[in-house]
Structures are given as C-alpha cells and as structure tokens.
Amino acid sequence: MTAPQDRDLNHLHPYMRERLEPWRAAVAKAGLNYLIYETFRTAQRQVDLYAQGRTAPGAVVTYTLDSTHEYGLATDGVPLVWDKARQVWVQDWSHAAYDRVYRAVPPSRYDLELLSWEKPHLQVRGVNGPRQDQSASVFAARLGIKANQLVGSVWPKKTPPKAAAALPAPVTRPAAGRVLVPSRSGAWVDVRGQRLVVPATGATVVINATAQDGDVYLGGLLHPER
C-alpha cells in the first residue's frame, strides 16, 4: 500500500512557498484554476512511488529516490476547467490545459521551473542543475535544507509587529521662574519670594514667578528690603 499523499500547502518549505504563492495568485488573476494535489513527500512515499512500475504494479511515475518533494521544494498540480453540463470544476490532464496555464503565467518569472518530462511537477528553479541531472540533495544542502524534515510555512507571511515609536523625552522645566534684579556688582540676583521695596513709595511687595512665566527681570525698579 502506497503511503498517503500530502497536499497541505503549509507543509511546503518557505523557500518554495514564497515563490509558489505569487505564481498561484497570478494564475488566478489570469482567470485560470489550478489545483495543487501534492506538496511534501515522505521518504516512505517516495520509495513506494519508485517501486511502482518496477517491483510493484502500475506505471512508472518517478525516476529518483531523492525527490524535490522530500525537501518541501516541489508541488504537483493539475488545471481545472468548468464543466457546464455538470456545473462543476473537473481536472484536465491534457498537455493543452497545462500549456495554457504555463504560457499565461510562466513559472520561470517566479523563480520556478518545470520538468521536461512531467507536466504536473513544479519546483524551485535550479534544483536539478542546468541539465536537470543534479541530485536535489546538492541544491538543498546549499540552503541548509534537509530531506524528510517537515519545516512548514505560513502564508501570507507573518510580519513582525512594528516597534512602538519612542516617546519624546519629557521637557523638564524649573518648578518656578526666577525674579532677577541687578546687584551692586552688576550680577543678576534671584529675589523670588523675598520682600522687595518700591523706592518711589517705600512700600514692600513679594513677587513670585511660575515656570510658565520664566525668568522675570525687574531691572532697578525694586530692590531687596534691608
């Protein structure tokens, strides 16, 4: 019995998912429907598929025991067409249906590639080398991706929350402004809260300044009481 098929897009490696999803969105925008029916593949399923047509019944469906699927870097899919008579979407496995999708939205524009001998298969570009004869493990090793380890992915990608803007530093103000009068030496002296004499009348006053007032300069109009 062949190991079960996995069609969960969240089981693709992020390196593949980031290329596949923009391509899928472009396919949908072009008015086409394309079903992904296999994503990540376990080692056991790959062994089972490899045996098919060799030591097990059925036709040959794969030529390798080192599939790109085992790294989460490939998908298998099929175009869907609308059946007007039955009013349902049906799978169209014809070369014409695949060519219609791939011509409308070339996978190469999204850093993806096809296999010359397998229409449903879509993988990251360059995984098998320029002649498509390189082992997937060689490409994956360069990216630090290991076979048969389900890393998984999320789409749309989660973006980290933006750091909160730093609050401006509080403006420190003096608790009160100063009341300044000139001393005999010419220096300004703070007489806030002291009793001052009005020379013209001899009356005394007390003047305070608030922080909003800032410094108050009285010049020679008043002088401290002696």
Q: Is pLDDT of 73 > 90?
A: yes
For the stretch 153-157, contacts whose Cβ atoms lie closer than 8 Å and that sit 24 or more positions apart, written own/partner, are 153/9, 153/10, 153/11, 153/12, 153/13, 153/14, 153/16, 153/17, 153/18, 153/72, 154/10, 155/9, 155/10, 155/17, 155/21, 156/21, 157/18
Q: Is pLDDT of 139 > 90?
A: yes
pLDDT class of 129 with cuts at 50, 70, 90? confident
> How many Å apart are CA 18 and CA 110, to the nearest integer?
9
> How many Å apart are CA 25 and CA 28, to the nearest integer?
5
**Residue 91 φ then ψ, to 5°:** -75, 135
pLDDT class of 64 with cuts at 50, 70, 90? very high
Q: How many helices (H) and strands (E) does the chain have?
A: 4, 11
Percent of the chain residues past pLDDT 90, beyond the cut: 62
pLDDT at 204: 67
pLDDT at 164: 75
Of 14, 75, 66, nearest to 40 (Cα)? 75
Indicate the range of 6-15, 55-64, 107-116, 168-177 predicted with least confidence: 168-177
79: Cα separation from own chain's centroid: 29
DSSP, res 116? T
